[in-house]
Amino acid sequence: MGCLLSTPDVAVGAGRRQKNIGEIVVYVPGLRIPRPLDFAQPLGDGISKSLVERLSALRTRIEVMAGQEAPMTTKPRRAATQHGGSTLTDLQQALEDYLPVLLGLVENGNRLKHNLRFCWINQEDDVEETTMSDSRYEVLSVLHLMAILLLSQANLLLLPNKSTGGYQNTSVEECKRASIHIFLKAAGYLDFAVQKVLPQLPLELRNDLPLDLTEGVLKSLCLQALGQGVEIQLGMAIDSIKATLAVKRRLACEIVKYWHQAHEYIKDLPLANGWGEKHKLFVKWKHIEAKAAAYYLHGLILEEGNTSAGITAAALQAAEEYLKESKKACDAFHTALPSSRNPPLWGASKYLSEKIPNDIPSKTINTDSQKHELIMQVAPALPDFQLSLKPDEYQLPSMDPSWNQVHNN
């Protein structure tokens, strides 16, 4: 047991010092990892020895697997480990197994609620770990980790020519559709955490939460998941001969709104270390890239209508400028430590990179001589569409029946 408990420390240290995290389609924040916890002494005679052992075994399993997974979240293959394997799906299952038993400590009136000191490693906060004596903090941490694992799974699914982590022998189109469902599920965990778990924490504890778990970061991640889900839909629409230009523009404009809101939630947070700064840079990059797509498709629709040539040209020039800016933002994101790489372009990104440089110069004039600020000033407003994707509804599981005897005593 002592060897098992020491494993996460080693892996976490390695995870925090990562220099390169491979190819990125979906940004996955550094995993929050639980520190070892002795359930026996704080709980004392309050619950049965078997229940204490079960809590301890379930959480220790998560500690070990999360510690092993931290350096591997962007790797395409999952090698089996001496502890029985550390795949994303296995770790997700471990969290789902732990949650119903953990909820016994959360139930109202349970005198054991504050007896334990839950400690987790923080990746986006300069304070490397946070300890709180409230089991609802543990629930919040578990939900966050469940969502992050799904984002990691989506990243693996969408990386071209890679192992699909549980979706072997699956076509590219099926992977894209599966990733949308994964994004919605991840958003559901995060939305539930914001709406149902955070409000239950006392204000003083909410003020002491690590940046990883603050409302702004959780909401931004939720919107990121939804925005990337719509981005996949846009790429599929671009590849479909049945999708109209109006449908493509609507999707592109929705993506802009998702990324704008995600940026608003975290732009003022002090996410200054490696993981946190990289998180901000990813949101900035995707927001700019989304604007390039929206202005290009909007410009094409304006061109088809009776809109003046000047307004049409302004929209297309804005698309060209945003594409240039997005390439700079992309480079800034990937060079920020821990460094990463862009996979070969695909979907909407590939479409934009090919169409805008070849198509727009013939439709506009003097683009090289005009300043960026002037182009942005004269660009028409994008249409405002209602956001279509919503987080999946999530509810906590029922408390494990093994707590019934404790509550009846």
Distance CA 235, CA 113 (A): 47
Q: What is the mean pLDDT of residues 315-338?
A: 92
pLDDT of residue 372: 65
Picking from 156, 149, 22, the residue whose alpha carbon sits closest to that of residue 88 is 149
Residues 6+ apart with CB under 8 A from 296: 252, 315, 316, 319, 323, 352, 355, 356, 360
Q: For residue range 334-377, what is the model confidence (pLDDT) as tens digits?
A: 999 889 988 887 778 888 888 888 777 656 655 454 566 677 77
Q: What percent of the chain has pLDDT over 90?
A: 48
Per DSSP, the three-state class of 131 is strand
Q: What is the DSSP string of 338-370?
A: SEEEPPSP-HHHHHHHHHHHHHSTTT-SSTTTS
Q: How many CA atoms lie within 13 A of 64 on its CB side?
A: 19
| Domain span at 401 | 2-405
Task: Using CB atoms within 10 Å of the CB of residue 138, give its burial: 0 to 12 exposed, 13 to 18 middle, 19+ buried.
Answer: buried
Picking from 275, 172, 173, 283, the residue whose alpha carbon sits closest to that of residue 225 is 283
Distance CA 345, CA 202 (A): 46
pLDDT of residue 225: 97
Q: What is the CATH number of the domain that holds 368?
A: 1.25.40.280
Asked if 219 and 259 count as a contact pair (C-beta separation under 8 A), the reply is no
Distance CA 326, CA 322 (A): 6
Distance CA 404, CA 48 (A): 12
pTM of this prediction exceeds 0.85:
yes
Q: Which of 166-180, 225-239, 330-344 has the lowest mean pLDDT?
A: 166-180
Distance CA 191, CA 395 (A): 11
Distance CA 59, CA 102 (A): 9
Kindly state the DSSP code that residue 322 receives in the 8-state scheme.
Answer: H
pLDDT of residue 224: 97
Where do runs of H (alpha helix) occur along 209-267?
215-239, 245-266
How many of the other CB atoms lie within 10 Å of CB of 218? Answer: 26
Predicted confidence (pLDDT) at residue 398 exceeds the cutoff of 70: yes
Q: What is the mean pLDDT of residues 151-176?
A: 74
Q: For residue range 13-68, what is the model confidence (pLDDT) as tens digits?
A: 434 456 788 888 999 888 889 999 888 766 666 677 888 889 999 999 999 998 88
Give the tokens for residue 165.
Answer: 């982590």
Distance CA 253, CA 387 (A): 9
Q: Which of 48-62, 64-78, 209-223 has the lowest mean pLDDT?
A: 64-78
Domain count, the chain: 1
Q: Name the β-bridge partners of 33.
A: 121
Kindly indicate the confidence band of residue 271, based on its pLDDT and cuts at 50, 70 and 90.
confident
List C-alpha distances in Å: 112 to 202, 247, 331, 397. Answer: 17, 54, 50, 20
Q: For residue range 114-159, what is the model confidence (pLDDT) as tens digits?
A: 678 899 988 777 678 899 988 999 999 999 999 999 999 999 999 8
Residues 6+ apart with CB under 8 A from 327: none
pLDDT of residue 2: 26
pLDDT of residue 6: 30
pLDDT of residue 406: 64
Give the tokens for residue 392.
Answer: 């999946």
pLDDT of residue 13: 42
Predicted confidence (pLDDT) at residue 233 exceeds the cutoff of 60: yes
pLDDT of residue 77: 40
Average pLDDT over the chain, rounded to an integer: 82
pLDDT of residue 383: 93
Distance CA 30, CA 32 (A): 6
Give the H/E segment covering residue 20.
strand 20-23
